[in-house]
Structure 1
Amino acid sequence: MGRLDGKIAVVTGANSGIGLASAKRFVAEGAHVYITGRRQEELDKAVQAIGTGVTAVQGDISDLEDLDRLFAKVGSAHGRIDVLFANAGLGAREPLGKITASSFDLVFGVNVKGTIFTVQKGLPLMGDGGSIILTGSTTASMGTQAFSIYSASKAAIRNLARSWTLDLKGTGIRVNVLSPGATATPGLLNALARTGQKDAMIAGLIEQSPLGRMAEPDDIADVALFLASDDSRSMTGSEVFADGGMAQV
């Protein structure tokens, strides 16, 4: 038996990186997984990579109508959600003095507003034993040069989990934060490439890690599986770091 046999999972931002790796792992462990992303072409490729046991629903989590459409489809087909992995997020490198209102609105609109309403709109389909996973970041616990808005949005995620744990008291629904460190996702690697200093920046990230390497998306997916499964049944309101020790020492 798989660790998620018969469970219904939703993973946002699952067209690449950590979301895609987690969706693959959830399916391999017996779940039927709904994946979302903004770009249909990438979603189609993700479905091909995952194989059976997956349903793709194109949408932007900052668009409440897209979220309504996603959860209506899940409710109609399966009637419940056992695992809700609110993973979608983005960031922009802007130092103080160069922060723009449009960038702020985009980052907080996706990372904070999008996460809030992903969980709120999915919640009616969840019940006792359900697991909500929010993607945080080491940046929520550290100062990060030129990345303050993203970092602040992830600090908000950490407090949402604490507060929602109290809101959900007595429901049997758990909510925890999974905070990766530097992970070799297409999003991060492409962002580093745009700086023109990709190799030097990767070397700097590796230097900060006591493990001496960047994580792979599959590494983070292993931790997501733990939080999704009954193995973490005694955990709620917690933050699990999968950061190679970067934010710990």
Structure 2
Amino acid sequence: MDLTVAVTGATRGIGRAVAAAFVEAGAFVAVSGRDGDAVEETVAALNDAAGDGDVDDADESGDGTSGRAWGMRADVRDEYDLERFFERVAKEHGPIDVVFANAAVFHGVPGENPSDETSYARYDDTMRTNARGVFSTLREALPHLADDGRMIVPSGSVAAESKPGMGAYAVSKAAAEAVARGFAADVEQAVGVVDPGLVATDLTGMERARDPESVAPLFVWAATEAPAEELNGARLGLREWKKATR
């Protein structure tokens, strides 16, 4: 798989699982996250898995882009971080084929944050990360995106179905989906939403849900094999993936 893939929020959960799946498939994967140490650890683990463990990983000074994975600390709340991240990826590896706008936060415990008790500070940071962060990711990636590139925004049922205690997170995911649809309407490349169902991550608080590794192939499929016209401006999930790959 001769692709260049960029993943935000790639140090844990779905982001890390998707990054690993792309590395295993042979793609070059650029990862980012707020925690620089976690980015370095993630890149080292990805390169070890790919047999490139001797590469000087995750070095913002200019080294470490010759392995199967590379990383840089970037906060999606800061568009200048994202600008530098995508510029660096494109400079070293050419046009970006896939952008996975995965970075997100949930302040508090899922299911225990009712809307009427959500503080303004938590609401604002959730929206800045999960909604504006998706907007900034897509906007800053676009100048470096291949003509046939794809941009993927993960989401879930909480974006459309009321569930108690999800507060600002539910609002932010609905907004993120709207951002994806807006870009799909305005740019030539395919931009779509992928819903993996309930996945056991820190954001969902679900211990008995699917493992992130089990749904990573869904995102790889959406980014590489799903018909572009079916992804663009739409919402793909487990049903579409299983139907197409069974």
Q: Are positions 1:57 and 2:72 aligned together?
A: yes
Alpha carbons of 1:138 and 1:126: their partners in 2 closer, same or farther (altered >3 Å)? same
Partner of 2:103: 88
CA shift for structure 1 position 29: 1.2
- Asked if 1 retains the 8 angstrom alpha-carbon contact of 2:106 and 2:203, the reply is no
CA shift for structure 1 position 176: 1.1
Q: Which amino acid aligns with 1:42?
A: A
Partner of 1:134: 153
CA shift for structure 1 position 78: 1.9
Q: Is the partner of 2:14 in helix, strand or coil?
A: helix
Structure 2: unaligned runs, 5 residues or longer = 53-67, 240-246
CA shift for structure 1 position 43: 1.4
Partner of 2:209: 214
Inter-partner Cα distance in structure 1 for 2:42 and 2:115: 36
Q: Are positions 1:123 and 2:142 aligned together?
A: yes
Q: Is the partner of 1:130 in helix, strand or coil?
A: strand
- Asked if 2 retains the 8 angstrom alpha-carbon contact of 1:10 and 1:34, the reply is yes
Inter-partner Cα distance in structure 2 for 1:233 and 1:95: 37
Q: Are positions 1:29 and 2:25 aligned together?
A: yes
Alpha carbons of 1:95 and 1:65: their partners in 2 closer, same or farther (altered >3 Å)? same
Q: Which amino acid aligns with 1:137?
A: G
1:192-207 map, 5 Å: 192=205, 202=207
Inter-partner Cα distance in structure 2 for 1:148 and 1:240: 24
CA shift for structure 1 position 47: 1.3
Partner of 1:174: 190
Inter-partner Cα distance in structure 2 for 1:6 and 1:149: 38
Inter-partner Cα distance in structure 2 for 1:158 and 1:63: 20
Q: Are positions 1:109 and 2:124 aligned together?
A: no
- Asked if 1 retains the 8 angstrom alpha-carbon contact of 2:3 and 2:97, the reply is yes
Q: Are positions 1:164 and 2:183 aligned together?
A: yes
CA shift for structure 1 position 148: 2.4
Inter-partner Cα distance in structure 2 for 1:119 and 1:145: 30
- Asked if 2 retains the 8 angstrom alpha-carbon contact of 1:226 and 1:232, the reply is no
Q: Is the partner of 2:233 in helix, strand or coil?
A: coil
Q: Which amino acid aligns with 1:56?
A: G
Partner of 1:39: 35
- Partner residue of 1:183 out of 181, 199, 202: 199
Name segments (4+ residues, structure 1) moved above 6 Å.
none
- Asked if 2 retains the 8 angstrom alpha-carbon contact of 1:34 and 1:54, the reply is yes
Inter-partner Cα distance in structure 2 for 1:114 and 1:242: 25
- Asked if 2 retains the 8 angstrom alpha-carbon contact of 1:138 and 1:241, the reply is no
Number of residue pairs matched by the alignment: 215
1:224-235 map, 5 Å: 224-235=219-230
Inter-partner Cα distance in structure 1 for 2:83 and 2:228: 28
Inter-partner Cα distance in structure 2 for 1:49 and 1:136: 26
CA shift for structure 1 position 36: 0.4
CA shift for structure 1 position 35: 0.2
- Asked if 2 retains the 8 angstrom alpha-carbon contact of 1:138 and 1:180, the reply is no
